[in-house]
Amino acid sequence: MNSIHGNPENIPHILVLGVGGTIAGLASDPANPTAYQSGQVGIETLLAKIQESIPDAVKIVSQQLANIDSRDLSEDLLTLIGNTVKESLQNPAVKGVVITHGTDTIEETGFFLHATCGRLAEKLGKRLVLVGAMLPANAPQADGPANLLDALKWTSTAPENCPGGVFAVFAGKVCLARDLAKRHSSALNAPLMDSPNSPVGLINPSWLSRVKAIQAASVEDLPIPEVWPWVDILTSHAGARGQTVEALVGAGVQGLVLAGTGLGGFHKTWLEPLKKAQMQGIALVRTSRTGAGATVASKDELSCELAGVLSAPRARIALQLALNAEKDHKANPKSLTWQDFFARMAVLPGFR
């Protein structure tokens, strides 16, 4: 039996946090698994289904934080997840944490947790592992049970065999959570690992050195916002209009992530409204809408922060965390700017 009877504070265990997603979804007709609703099954039921395959030595405590379709992920829920993880990692009885999550926005949560809890997990030698599924829990070929088992396996790997940190497990592979993103609407391996990865259980030394390099660049965990700044993503496209920028600025947006074309350029109709926005103190960051590769300083006249290889959704979280950290840091004599914090998260050259 893996569940703990008695006080979990005295028994080393893995904490499994349920947030929802397809892994907890149900199809009205299991023979047609694409018509389903996310976030229907509780975390205890998901664990009960794999009970027989979990080694007896692995003790588990579960907690339902939410049960949503992750397309509805809110910033308040991110704060709750972040605070719960931070507190749990510091509990000596908790050896690692698994989070079951929807794949639609796993990219954002992965990046957020890496930036806010990654150093702590690394320092304590504990693993935090995000996991999801592409098929609902009652589909005949459901992929959730195997993914969840893999996540438990990776979380309970002996610390001497793998560093602590924030990871994601999917379809038999593991990578840093900040590198997992959904890149296909329906394929079983839709969440792709944008970095070196490794089969779960087989630890690849060259992959581990890259994991360590990224972790070293994180410098320190960023504070978890209680109140999130409003940052939106603007995608450049044929026929893009300056009024779109003006409408957001007029409504009070605090930061804009520009998902530009190609190397990160954008439609010329945006140039004047963006310059004005910048003069008003709105934080601007450039990414590329292509889905891969780095953004490069553009030849247009707008000088703004580049997001390196960060996708627009990751850059958005990074900008929110950076703006929040700058606010928190104001009292510090060596006060860092949002650009400094952003550069650390995007692992840009020359970050402070």
- List residues binding ligand ASP (CB under 6 A): 20-22, 38, 69-71, 102-104, 132, 134
Least Å from the CB of residue 30 to ligand ASP: 16
Beta carbon nearer to ligand ASP, 69 or 194: 69
Least Å from the CB of residue 18 to ligand ASP: 12
Least Å from the CB of residue 285 to ligand ASP: 25
Beta carbon nearer to ligand ASP, 35 or 158: 35
Least Å from the CB of residue 23 to ligand ASP: 6
Least Å from the CB of residue 47 to ligand ASP: 17
Beta carbon nearer to ligand ASP, 71 or 268: 71
CA distance 121 to 211: 13
Beta carbon nearer to ligand ASP, 141 or 332: 141
Least Å from the CB of residue 132 to ligand ASP: 5
Beta carbon nearer to ligand ASP, 25 or 264: 25
Beta carbon nearer to ligand ASP, 80 or 347: 80
Least Å from the CB of residue 46 to ligand ASP: 13
Residue nearest ligand ASP by beta-carbon distance: 102
Beta carbon nearer to ligand ASP, 71 or 352: 71
Backbone angles phi and psi of 160, in degrees to 5: -70, -15
Biggest distance spanned by C-alpha atoms of the chain:
65
Least Å from the CB of residue 327 to ligand ASP: 30
Beta carbon nearer to ligand ASP, 50 or 203: 50
Beta carbon nearer to ligand ASP, 105 or 156: 105
Long-range contacts of 236-239 (CB under 8 A, 24+ apart): 236/260, 236/261, 236/265, 236/266, 236/267, 236/270, 236/289, 237/261, 237/267, 238/267, 239/267
Least Å from the CB of residue 316 to ligand ASP: 17
CA distance 29 to 31: 5
CB atoms within 10 A of CB 35: 9
